[in-house]
A and B are shown apart, each in its own frame.
Chain A
Amino acid sequence: MLTLRDFLVRGLLAGLIAGIAAFFVAYAVGEPPVAASIAIEEAAGGHDHGDEAEEAAAAADEGTEVPRPVQSTVGLATGMLVLGTALGGATGLLTGAAMGRLFSRTNVRATALAVNGVAFVTLFFVPYLIYPPNPPAVGNGETIGYRTALYFAMVALSIAGAAIALALARNLRHQIGSWYAGLAGVATYVVIAVAALGVMPRYDEVPAEGFPPSLLWEFRLSSLLVQIVLWGVIGVVLAELSHRAVAQKAAPRPTQLIDA
């Protein structure tokens, strides 16, 4: 008997694997621009990152300091694995709930990939368009509360838009068919997302001087790549695990075939 719990467990596993993949990509392509940015930041006398010389003073000041070599390896891995596992679990639940209802009525792999694609665009890509990630040395520490609030508000608007679009597409399916219902859903999401992108306040804290534009581009591109790998691996692994779970546990009647 297949339950939502089966999908939660498979999603968590897919997310863990994706977190490992994302860590390697982040370490290989993300750490060089982060290290270069921190060098610029420290040359400018900015925010402390556990540089050894400042460590003792900072430790007395602010408590524990995590050395940079730990931050860029074990610390990075912790963040990627925890976030990957959590997002994988949530995606697994959504895929279980969507199975047979959304995207495909016959192919759970297609449903899993579609759920992941929607989650990538909704949770990451659309917020990325207005609040792109910034490397160390970019960003004013005093506005962190404001920027965090804007970021999560944008994520929330994007989720609301996707929920409305999916509900609309599902309701229209019987009247105008899956293809046109899907197009209507996409169009609805695009309208809501563009409206949100137009209305939400913008900020630009990239220093006018002293921070190389190519380094900013390299950092933002590496961040995008990390997210693509994270969601891509969750999608592929979850698609496969879901398919196997359905094949094993849904107990198909003898005449039924699940396409292999």
Chain B
Amino acid sequence: MSQAIAGPAPIAVELPTLSLREAWPWALFGLILMLLAVYFVGAEQGATSLISGNAVHEWVHDARHLLGFPCH
């Protein structure tokens, strides 16, 4: 924190808060996006499979291992 040498000390200003009531569609959008991404990187064609074959699993194989998801 900076210290004022002379004059009034800088006042820490309270941050605005964002209305969550109006923002829920953005929050929902972000959450769905996140869950989809986590699912496809972390679990598709492993424990469960929406797309047949192994391409998704193999494409993200190394990332899945290194990010700590159970892989095979």
Contact = CB atoms under 8 A, between A and B. Distances in A.
Interface in B27-72: 27, 29-31, 33-34, 36-38, 40-43, 46-48, 52-55, 58-72
A108 interface: yes
B20 A139 contact: no
Interface residues of B, number: 50
B41 A79 contact: yes
Secondary structure call for the A interface: helix
B30 A134 contact: no
A209 interface: no
B66 A8 contact: no
A103 B44 CA distance: 36
Contact of B30 (A26, A93, A219): A93
B12 A106 contact: yes
Contact of B68 (A31, A86, A96, A124): A124
B6 interface: no
B66 to A, nearest CB: 4
Contact of B54 (A62, A133, A227): A62
A201 interface: no
Contacts of A3: 18, 22-23, 26
Interface in A81-123: 82-83, 85-87, 89-90, 92-93, 96-97, 99-101, 104-108, 111
A65 B54 contact: yes
A63 B53 contact: yes
Given A66-B58, A71-B58, A108-B15, A89 B33 contact: yes
A89 B28 CA distance: 11
Given A86-B38, A148-B48, 6 more contacts: A3-B26, A31-B62, A65-B54, A76-B62, A100-B17, A127-B68
23 contacts: A8-B30, A31-B62, A63-B53, A71-B61, A75-B59, A79-B62, A79-B67, A83-B41, A87-B34, A87-B38, A100-B17, A100-B18, A104-B15, A133-B66, A134-B65, A134-B70, A136-B72, A144-B70, A148-B69, A148-B70, A223-B66, A252-B13, A256-B13
